[in-house]
A and B are shown apart, each in its own frame.
Chain A
């Protein structure tokens, strides 16, 4: 995967240098080991600051929203799906996007790696093919990236970009994944009371920082319902009812739109499994309508279309 860095830099240098795009959205090296920082380049000579490795996990589609210029962007399967969903909702214009596609083998879960080595602190990380070497004060640890993937990457059915203007490599094989993600399946097995208890417990420590909402590329409303003050839809205190209301509504606003990139979970400072709710809705959209968001620029979003064969047994 690391091998793509040179090709990525060359592509960005060419696109910016030839004036094909006005900006290029990618990642640069972060200040911490295992961290990459989204970067928006505007000059060809900045291209060498770009990197590509398994720390490049935060969804870049977020940065394409609201821009009026011509955008170059590096995209994996999930970034490309977000771009498709955003294009269908008129938040980005396909003709102003130049998508540099990367077949993706999954991104690391930096939080899980920190938890795996409690009390030891990564000083540096180096990526070599499918392996990552993390330097600790008391020695190195070499790990397989594939065994330390972020949760959405573990069940990703679409690792290759669904749309691209050029590809940096040959497509990778799509792994066989369960039809229902593990989290959603686990929830299915529980009774309603157990699910409620699980939900209350899992979301109890939410501090309402809204990082999950802000990290989501599909959350682009100019004013979110939680920020509306006239009328005020939801209380602003740390009352559990208000916190749960926020999470319910956030998930429901993503029904039929979520591309399961996991940016919400990646951003949560308290490791709350916010993706459980959306992955359950995704499973439902797939089971009932055979629909997965962001796969096809020609297909209208799920809640924006009607077909005679749609499930309609709620008409009595």
Chain B
């Protein structure tokens, strides 16, 4: 495995080398928060960022994507025939993605790459994407660990992992894509002390310790309580009384789903301008009543509680049962942070996990 070392100031120019062969996406500051943007001459990367407000899932799964085109002009011999929208999938490198956001693509793949159905657009874009991750122990209090996020040095979802050592960066390739990217970035062989420092940082992060005197409502990055969920029979959990209480404050906005790196649901819409039509795929949200509205007018999840329950059951129970790949959550904490009414997935997971045990009522 190729490893390379870059002094702090030498890292951005090394990343810039990638622009010769890739479209390069980097974290940039946008107002009060960060977002991934294509690195062109109008933006400046900020590799000291912690978390983007909106996850980078849109780089593989855009919020709106034109899939097919058609003509409604009856004089056109091919009218009303759907053709694939022309587009290309140039190689792209996402530099500075955090390990949780990279793992989210592994969580998403079970939906887009199945034995029965292989989503051509998601797959082509995924194959064209190289994930160059930024590893630094700076988890915030809304974050937590799950089977799909082992901590800030989790390399499972990445092609290259870049350890931030303060004075410089140590990059390690994790497969063919990573080897190619790192070769393009140049850099020096790392010195032995830099390699040793990486080992030390990884060891420290495995057992997070709180700085002395630090007050916390939550310990830093605790595990999401899910250990008993697999054994929970699904029907009693579905019918549990606590869902009404969990859902009571919910406004049924879509913040939690739109900011979730592992939410994959979409809706398909046709839009026609004059006589040219587009078939477009848009992110959808299970928090919206329209999401489950049938053509008959019936809505199987017409009530707020049903929708809130479905979101948590899908993430923490159905996904777990169906795919046996852990829960559908990478612990980024965006939903915890952005929920306008402070619904906290850690508290909901604790209720689901503890369901059936004699537990105290959860009045804080």
Decide if B218 touches A215 in the complex (CB within 8 Å). Answer: no
Q: Which residues on the A side are within 8 Å of B32 (C-beta)?
A: 111, 115, 271
Q: At the interface with chain A, which of B84-92, B123-131, B183-191, B337-345?
A: B337-345
How would residues 309 to 350 of chain B score, 1 for a CB under 8 Å from any chain A CB and 0 otherwise? 000000000000000000000000000111011111011000
Decide if A49 touches B253 in the complex (CB within 8 Å). Answer: no
With CB as the reference atom, state the residue of chain B lying closest to A211. B253
With CB as the reference atom, state the residue of chain B lying closest to A227. B290
Q: Which residues on the A side are within 8 Å of B213 (C-beta)?
A: 137
From A30, A215, A239, A271, give the contact of B251 (CB < 8 A).
A215
Determine whether B258 belongs to the interface, using a CB cutoff of 8 Å to chain A.
yes
Interface SS of chain B: loop
Decide if A237 touches B282 in the complex (CB within 8 Å). Answer: yes
Decide if A38 touches B341 in the complex (CB within 8 Å). Answer: yes
Contacting residues of chain B (178-234) with chain A, CB-CB under 8 angstroms: 211, 213-218
Name the distance in Å between B3's Cβ and chain A's nearest Cβ: 29
Name the distance in Å between A261's Cβ and chain B's nearest Cβ: 13
How would residues 9 to 20 of chain A score, 1 for a CB under 8 Å from any chain B CB and 0 otherwise? 000000000000
Q: With the chains together, A266 CA to B63 CA distance in Å? A: 23
With CB as the reference atom, state the residue of chain A lying closest to B362. A49
Most buried by B among A32, A48, A208: A32
Determine whether A229 belongs to the interface, using a CB cutoff of 8 Å to chain B.
yes
Task: Give chain B's interface residue range (CB within 8 Å of chain A).
Answer: 35 or more
With CB as the reference atom, state the residue of chain B lying closest to A28. B364
From A208, A223, A267, give the contact of B340 (CB < 8 A).
A267
Determine whether A36 belongs to the interface, using a CB cutoff of 8 Å to chain B.
yes
From B30, B254, B337, give the contact of A209 (CB < 8 A).
B254
On chain A, the number of residues with a Cβ less than 8 Å from chain B's Cβ atoms is 49
From B211, B214, B285, B342, give the contact of A32 (CB < 8 A).
B342
Name the distance in Å between A81's Cβ and chain B's nearest Cβ: 19
Could you tell me which B residues sit within 8 Å of A by CB distance?
30-33, 35, 50, 53-54, 63-64, 140-142, 211, 213-218, 248-249, 251-255, 257-259, 267, 269, 271, 280, 282, 285, 288-290, 293, 336-338, 340-344, 346-347, 363-364
Could you tell me which A residues sit within 8 Å of B by CB distance?
28-33, 35-40, 46, 48-49, 58, 62-63, 111, 115, 119, 121, 123-124, 135, 137, 205, 207-211, 213-215, 223, 227, 229, 235-239, 263, 266-267, 269-271
